[in-house]
Amino acid sequence: MPLNPWITLFSFLTIILPLLNPFVAFAVNPQGEALLSWKQSLNGPTEAWSNWNPIDGTPCGWFGITCNINKEVVELELRHLSLYGTVPTNLTSLVSLTKIVLSDTNLTGSIPKEISTLHELNYLDLSDNALTGEIPSEICNLLKLQEIHLNFNQLEGLIPAQIGNLTSLKWLILYENQLNGEIPNTIGNLKNLQVIRAGGNKNIRGLIPREIGNCTELTILGLTETCVSGFLPPSLGLLKKLETIYISKTLLSGQIPPEIGNCTALQNITLYQNSLIGSIPKSLGNLKNLQKLFLWNNSLVGTIPSELGNCKKLTVLHLSGNSLTGNIPQSFGNLSALQNLTLHMNQISGKIPAEFENCKELTWINLGNNSIAGTIPSEIGKLTKLQLLFLYENELVGPIPSSISKCQNLQILDLASNGLTGNSLQGIFQLKKLKTIDLSSNNLSGEILENIGNCSSLIWFRVGDNKLTGPIPREIGNLENLDILDLNLNRISGNVPAEIFCCRNLEYLNLHSNLIIGKLPGELSSLVLLQYVDFSNNSIEGNYIDMEKILTLLKTIDFSNNSFKGEIPKGCGFMFGLGMGYLVFSSEKPKYLLTIIYGERRNKNKEDVVGWIA
């Protein structure tokens, strides 16, 4: 029987046409077409979504796509991909979408107004892209929106006043953009709002609207690094569910409203680097859930309220850089969870409370630059987790307690510029994890003992301006990590031990104004990192010509008031001081010269030292 030519042609077209144009037959539905159209506009690699196949009947099985039981697309979720394109605008066939997540996908351009057609949308995340332009006010017509995440973009303009229409909104995340203007008072309409974070928008300004007190579900308020100004609104006290306040590095002024003490769910208060005045409210003692309190670098005055001792969950208390006075409350002994106590740069007086012995979780104590008097309590030895102890620039007297040797986790010990006395070094040298010892400018006596060699992690050793005697122990050569050795203005005698030149990382060596004798060891030139040397005001002997290699290697040298002889070698750098028995050379002015010789206080930077802690 002969074949029907029409049947043959139909069979041929059935096979060939889908290959030539997949949309002719077995075409994906209109929602799939819209998604494929968007995909074709993108310039990034497509491996991750290679299963977006146009011959599928629906996009429901595609990567990043979720459908409902009616095979309608309800979620578009693509994260951490290099899409290199714009947010889709052809959305008319995707009105069933409830969730869009396109975070960290290298999108540019603006947020399209067409997104306002997605009336079912309750979740929008376009964070971590390079989106520009304004937040379209049309987005505020999406009354089912519960979460908006637009952080880490380059968005400009105002927060739309119409944001108050989104009464279902729970999360509003806008931080790290370039938004400006004021926070609209319509924010108070958002009765379901739980989180607002708009920090890092340096041009957001004006007052924090008092209407925020209407957002009674709020748990997180974040406005750090903005230009909000004025007072903290007392209406914050109405937010019984508030857990975290982040409003640091702003233009806030005025007093901390005592009404904050009504926010009994508060766990974190971060208000540092503002212009807050007045005293710390006693009502903060009502915050039984408070864990972290950061009020540093403000203009707070008055005493530290003893009521803070009621905050037994407190782990971090940072009040430095204010003008606080009075004693450290004994009630702090109740803070059994406290890990970090930082009160430096205030005007605190009185004694260090012995009750600290109950704070056994303490790892960090910084009470430096105050007017604290009395002795260091022996109870300090019970703080076995302590890693950093800063008590510099106070009025402490008496010996360093021997119990400090029990603080075996101690890494930084700074007791400089006090009136400490006695021979207290032996217990300190039992602390094998120490990286910094600064006991300079006290009245300590006795010798530097051999067990300093136990401190093999030591980077800084500064005991200048004391009354120490005896020789430099040879065991100092065990300190292979030593960067700074400062023994100036003591009564140290004997020769410079050759073992000191085993300290291959030494950059700063200051032995001036001691009773050191003998010849300068030639091994000094082997310390290739050494920048600053001061041996002045001793009785060291030698010939200038023998020091030629040393003089050409080092940046700053002071051998004044010793017993050197002979001619000064040529080509030894710029000579800025020369007299009878006096020799100072400098090839440049290194940082050590500027910060140590010319009076900037000895901290290379105290806060930088913390970076050495593993």
Residue 402 clears pLDDT 70, i.e. is over it: yes
pLDDT band per the 50, 70, 90 thresholds, residue 316:
very high
Instruction: Order across the sheet with 227-230: list the strands.
Output: 180-182, 203-207, 227-230, 251-255, 275-277
Please give the pLDDT value at position 48. Answer: 84
* pLDDT classification of 530: cutoffs 50, 70, 90: confident
pLDDT one-digit tens code per residue, 378-393: 999 999 999 999 999 9
Q: What is the mean pLDDT of the chain?
A: 88
pLDDT for residue 571: 53
The stretch 52-69 carries a mean pLDDT of: 95
Q: Which two tokens stand for residue 168?
A: 């279902």
More confident residue, 345 or 583: 345
Q: What is the mean pLDDT of residues 566-594?
A: 43
* Dist. CA 579–CA 562, nearest whole Å: 11
How many other CB atoms are there within 10 angstroms of residue 543's CB atom?
14
Cα–Cα distance measured from residue 614 to residue 612, given in angstroms and rounded to the nearest whole number: 6
**Rounded to whole angstroms, what are the CA distances from 538 to 8, 435, 472, 495, 518?**
112, 28, 14, 11, 10
Percent of the chain with pLDDT over 90: 77
Q: What's the confidence (pLDDT) of residue 563?
A: 81
The predicted model gives 215-236 an average pLDDT of 97
Among 376, 379, 436, 374, CA closest to 400: 376
DSSP for 529-584 reads T--EEE--SSEEEEEGGGGHHHHHH-SEEE--SSEEESPPPSS--EEEEEETTEEE
196, 272, 292, 300: which is closest to 239 by C-alpha? 196
Of 90-94, 125-129, 256-260, 264-268, the poorest mean pLDDT is in: 90-94
- Tell me, what's the pLDDT at 445? 96
Q: What is the pLDDT of residues 603-613, one digit of tens each?
A: 444 444 444 33
Positive or negative, the CA dihedral 481, 484, 488, 494 is positive
| Token pair for 500 | 């000191």
pLDDT tens figures, 540-576: 887 654 565 565 566 677 888 888 776 666 555 444 3
* Per-residue pLDDT reduced to its tens digit, 118-146: 999 999 999 999 999 999 999 999 999 99
Confidence of residue 443 (pLDDT cuts 50, 70, 90): very high
Residue whose C-alpha is closest to residue 455's, from 442, 437, 473: 437
Task: Count Cβ atoms within 10 A of the Cβ of residue 512 and give its class: 0-12 exposed, 13-18 middle, 19 or more buried.
Answer: buried
Rounded-to-integer distance, Cα 195 and Cα 245, Å = 10
Residue type, 482: L
- Number of Cβ within 10 Å of residue 307's Cβ equals 18
Left (φ > 0), alpha (ψ -120 to 50) or beta: where does 174 sit?
alpha
Class of domain 34-155: alpha beta
DSSP string, 339-363: -EEE--SS---S---GGGGG-TT--
What pLDDT, on the 0 to 100 scale, is given for residue 556?
Answer: 77
Predicted pLDDT at 92 = 86
Q: CA–CA separation, 285 vs 239, rounded Å?
A: 17
Q: Has residue 82 got a pLDDT over 80?
A: yes
Residues 197-205: what's their mean pLDDT?
97
CB atoms within 10 A of CB 529: 11
Residue closest to 247 by CA, chosen among 279, 288, 275 = 275
Q: How many CA atoms, within 13 angstroms, populate the side-chain half-sphere of residue 152? A: 11
Pairing of strands 484-486, 508-510: parallel
More confident residue, 25 or 285: 285
Strand partners, 508: 484, 532
Picking from 240, 333, 338, 334, the residue whose alpha carbon sits closest to that of residue 319 is 338
Instruction: State mean pLDDT over 474-484.
Output: 94
Q: How confident is the model at residue 364 (pLDDT cuts 50, 70, 90)?
A: very high
Helix (H, G, I), strand (E, B) or coil at 180: strand
Whole-angstrom Cα distance, residue 334 to residue 502? 47
**Cα 345 to Cα 367: distance, rounded to the nearest angstrom:** 8
Find the mean pLDDT for residues 442-459.
94
The two beta strands, 574-579 and 556-558, are unpaired
Three-state DSSP class for residue 388:
strand
pLDDT at 611: 41
Give the pLDDT score at 345: 98
Question: With b meaning 16 or more CB within 10 Å and e meaning fewer, what string describes 328-338?
Answer: bbebbbbbebb
Q: Which residue has the higher pLDDT, 584 or 213?
A: 213
Residue 327 has pLDDT above 70, yes or no: yes
| Mean pLDDT within 259-277 | 98
Side-chain-side CA neighbours of 422 within 13 Å: the count stands at: 15
- State the DSSP code for 44: S
Q: Give the DSSP letter of residue 604.
A: S
pLDDT attached to residue 548: 58
Q: Lowest-confidence range among 9-18, 252-261, 285-294, 512-521?
A: 9-18
Q: How far apart are CA 310 and CA 283, in angstroms?
A: 10
Q: What count of other Cβ atoms lies within 10 Å of the Cβ of residue 23?
A: 12
Whether residue 381 contacts residue 408, with contact meaning beta carbons closer than 8 Å, is answered with no
Between strands 532-534 and 227-230, the pairing is unpaired
Phi-psi label, residue 505: left if phi above 0, alpha if psi -120 to 50, beta otherwise: alpha
Q: What is the Cα–Cα distance from 364 to 144, expressed in whole angstroms?
A: 47
Q: Are 284 and 261 in contact (CB under 8 A)?
A: yes
Confidence (pLDDT) at 542: 73
Q: Looking at the predicted structure, is the pLDDT value of residue 298 above 80? A: yes
Higher pLDDT, 257 or 552: 257
**pLDDT the model gives residue 554:** 63
φ, ψ at 484 (rounded to 5°) = -130, 125
* 354-363 per-position pLDDT tens digit: 999 999 999 9
158-181 mean pLDDT? 97
Give the Cα separation of 505 and 487 in Å (integer).
17
Helix (H, G, I), strand (E, B) or coil at 410: coil
User: What are residue 583's DSSP bridge partners?
Assistant: 578
pLDDT for 3 equals: 45
CB 66 within 8 A of CB 42: no
Cα atoms in the Cβ-side hemisphere of radius 13 Å centred on 92: 1
CB of 189 within 8 A of CB of 213? no
